[in-house]
Chains A and B, each alone.
Chain A
């Protein structure tokens, strides 16, 4: 039997799927428009009155688009290899600042991070080959575009995040004392991140509820308790759903302590919709403490060593 929550999850997921497909379609349209005519700047003038006889458009996507899509304007793959190396060093330095790593620990982390970089660029190259096969085939291109999404997400969220060899090795490497320091710094970082998203959502709520300053402040505090902060985050664009989902789990009486009656009525309609986002968010990479799989760091460490041996030549 399908529950209301299931339907809402389905609606949210299908909306996001449609959105993704539309973005893909938009890029395809953009690619078609940009070929073979010259690329226009965002505000270049479009001169009207072009000859009417236009030959039938053939679906073609220029090769240059591939790097643009994957790396989002940060240049070609070779330039990004260098960038990723720098990112790795910055990550190691970040851990070093918190936990005072030994040289041996640093080297192991560097090795693990290198494996992540290698794995990522292998994935990019495999995708590039696939792109060559579909770039002139509109039907297959959509399918390819779906495969592109996780790669883009990796670029956006970082190669050394949850699930990476780097992260797994890190958990395995640190002494208990270092783990405590690292966890504390990580918690602080996640809290800062999540709070910025909460503040953003509260600003959006303010647009429809016209909250008082004190109400905004109280609402931010109510929505930023440690248990609401995800252990791992998905894409930034889904964070607002994560905040609303967590807000939907707050008892009504707590909201009533902050908001006025008509404001509560409005927010309840919003939160009723958000209540069904949980499954979707989890499938999009959001994990909260207490969720299944949130505390299996030790098991992951064992796997990480095996994986590194496989990945690093």
Chain B
């Protein structure tokens, strides 16, 4: 319960602190990096992308000592960059090439931002694609997100520079840290530090992770058994893999690979995401392509259902103030469903936890269906939440920990066989 309280406190303080309007305004507030209209600013001579390359040439680490120092330096540069990404900024650009807007941001904040041309090509976005953007008092991270979201591009911090490129790969937090870094950085920055175990001590957190993960793995494996109907041999292999993954996470195999430490605290990870990623990987490794496709279908449908729930919550929240007609509700649902961006709302229960919260959905997806008066109200509501972005909260039990571990899948509920306990209508549906 105390964890829940801590999480609630963090959410609340984080939310209150993010309001753009001043709660207490002081003359000695830290100055914000204000950007004049981009079109009025002179263009920098040297492209930002060259900076890290030059730096790399200058360093040329040969000896192991130098390599170690270089790695340390990169780490430090990344940390500095993380801080820079939290600096407030204003940005106005009207119909300017993406590369110029990026260059201006890089110059203004004295950082390196590189456009990954291959990724841009893949996304079908030219570096000189013209964009229009207007943000005020956003963190640099959010401003970048805002610029990139409609282009289906993302950014990450790599080796002391910001790289704009591909969307993130599917989550496999343990196995592919280097790839995950691109996607994870912006998310972590906006996240409540829910993944940080508190001062209660690492062991308790690790034990909790183990208990929760086991229960969640059993539940997910029930899904695999019901959908993919694996053979005993396949099941055994999957279970062995899962056991290994859990042991590895807990550091039973190799203490160096144990849960990560940061500033004396333990990063245990999200048991829900971890366990599902492990199952996903094991299914791909040990089941046939057909079986794996059946599981993938369920995973995709799960994601679609979560998006649907979020869309319906958005429209419900709009409806509370705007008295939408049934037709308006249907139109907005359809539009949002077609254009949904998971970054707007990490989980549908966000709406239940935050009474006044509204995701940062661009106006174009909603305003066209509203009348003048509704638009005015929507804009005032929308502005109130600007800049509030949530990352996926860590799993803490059913309904965010309101129901503790005793409400998770229990040992005695493990099935005797794959078909024995499947509900009758589910069998028919399958």
Please report A residues at the B interface, Cβ cutoff 8 Å: 15, 19, 22-23, 26-27, 29-31, 34-45, 62, 64-65, 68, 72-75, 83, 86-87, 89-91, 93-95, 97-98, 152, 155-158, 185, 188-189, 192-193, 195-197, 199-216, 218, 235-237, 239-240, 256-263, 265-266, 269-270, 273
Q: Across the interface, which residues of A come within 8 angstroms of B402, CB to CB?
A: 15
Give the nearest-CB partner of B217 in chain A. Answer: A210
CB contact between A266 and one of B9, B22, B410 (< 8 Å): that residue: B410
Supposing A23-B12, A43-B139, A240-B349 touch, asked if A235 and B219 sit within 8 A by C-beta, the answer is no
Give the nearest-CB partner of B299 in chain A. Answer: A213
Q: Across the interface, which residues of A come within 8 angstroms of B236, CB to CB?
A: none
Other CB < 8 Å A-B pairs besides A38-B30, A43-B86, A199-B309, 9 of them? A41-B88, A42-B14, A65-B24, A91-B323, A192-B329, A213-B297, A258-B425, A259-B423, A270-B407
B421 interfacial by beta-carbon distance below 8 Å: yes
CB contact between A257 and one of B190, B216, B425 (< 8 Å): that residue: B425
Contact of B373 with A203 in the complex, beta carbons under 8 Å: no
CB contact between B429 and one of A87, A158, A214 (< 8 Å): that residue: A214
Give the nearest-CB partner of B18 in chain A. Answer: A42
Q: Across the interface, which residues of B come within 8 angstroms of A45, CB to CB?
A: 83, 86
Contact of A206 with B315 in the complex, beta carbons under 8 Å: no
User: Shortest 9 CB-CB distances between A and B: which pairs?
Assistant: A94-B323, A196-B312, A262-B413, A199-B309, A261-B421, A213-B301, A210-B219, A210-B223, A43-B86
Q: How far does the alpha carbon of A238 sit from the alpha carbon of B21 in the complex, in Å?
A: 28
B38 to chain A, nearest CB (A): 23
B223 to chain A, nearest CB (A): 4
CB contact between A93 and one of B373, B381, B406, B415 (< 8 Å): that residue: B373
Please report B residues at the A interface, Cβ cutoff 8 Å: 5, 8-9, 12-14, 16-26, 28-30, 83, 86, 88, 139, 189-190, 215-216, 219-220, 222-223, 226-227, 272, 297-298, 301-302, 305-306, 308-309, 312-313, 315-316, 319-326, 329, 347-349, 351-353, 355-356, 371, 373-374, 376-377, 380-381, 384-385, 387, 395, 397-399, 402-403, 406-410, 413-415, 420-426, 429-430
Contact of A266 with B413 in the complex, beta carbons under 8 Å: yes
Contact of A90 with B373 in the complex, beta carbons under 8 Å: yes
A266 to chain B, nearest CB (A): 6
Contact of B384 with A74 in the complex, beta carbons under 8 Å: yes
Contact of B86 with A263 in the complex, beta carbons under 8 Å: no
Contact of A265 with B316 in the complex, beta carbons under 8 Å: no
Supposing A213-B305, A257-B424, A260-B226 touch, asked if A68 and B409 sit within 8 A by C-beta, the answer is no
Give the nearest-CB partner of A37 in chain B. Answer: B26
Supposing A22-B5, A90-B374, A236-B351 touch, asked if A262 and B227 sit within 8 A by C-beta, the answer is no
Contact of B348 with A199 in the complex, beta carbons under 8 Å: yes
Q: Across the interface, which residues of A come within 8 angstroms of B409, CB to CB?
A: 208-209, 262, 266
CB contact between B25 and one of A39, A94, A192 (< 8 Å): that residue: A39
Q: How far does the alpha carbon of A65 sit from the alpha carbon of B301 in the complex, in Å?
A: 44
Q: Across the interface, which residues of B come within 8 angstroms of A258, CB to CB?
A: 423, 425-426
Contact of B355 with A235 in the complex, beta carbons under 8 Å: yes
Q: Across the interface, which residues of B come within 8 angstroms of A39, CB to CB?
A: 17, 22-26, 29
Q: How far does the alpha carbon of A257 sit from the alpha carbon of B424 in the complex, in Å?
A: 6
Q: Across the interface, which residues of A come within 8 angstroms of B415, CB to CB?
A: 260-262
Q: How far does the alpha carbon of A160 sit from the alpha carbon of B292 in the complex, in Å?
A: 52
A116 to chain B, nearest CB (A): 15
Q: Across the interface, which residues of B come within 8 angstroms of A240, CB to CB?
A: 349, 352, 399
Q: How far does the alpha carbon of A260 sit from the alpha carbon of B308 in the complex, in Å?
A: 24
Contact of A156 with B355 in the complex, beta carbons under 8 Å: yes
Contact of A213 with B302 in the complex, beta carbons under 8 Å: yes
Q: Across the interface, which residues of B come within 8 angstroms of A260, CB to CB?
A: 222, 226, 415, 421-423, 426
Q: How far does the alpha carbon of A62 sit from the alpha carbon of B25 in the complex, in Å?
A: 10
Contact of A68 with B21 in the complex, beta carbons under 8 Å: yes
Contact of A197 with B17 in the complex, beta carbons under 8 Å: no
Contact of A256 with B21 in the complex, beta carbons under 8 Å: no
CB contact between A64 and one of B22, B322, B351, B387 (< 8 Å): that residue: B22
Contact of B227 with A212 in the complex, beta carbons under 8 Å: yes
Q: Across the interface, which residues of B come within 8 angstroms of A202, CB to CB?
A: 305, 309
Contact of B17 with A41 in the complex, beta carbons under 8 Å: yes
CB contact between B312 and one of A34, A74, A199, A201 (< 8 Å): that residue: A199
B108 to chain A, nearest CB (A): 17
Q: How far does the alpha carbon of A202 sit from the alpha carbon of B426 in the complex, in Å?
A: 16
Give the nearest-CB partner of B429 in chain A. Answer: A214
Contact of B18 with A41 in the complex, beta carbons under 8 Å: yes
Q: How far does the alpha carbon of A269 sit from the alpha carbon of B404 in the complex, in Å?
A: 11
Q: Across the interface, which residues of B come within 8 angstroms of A208, CB to CB?
A: 215-216, 219, 397-398, 407-409
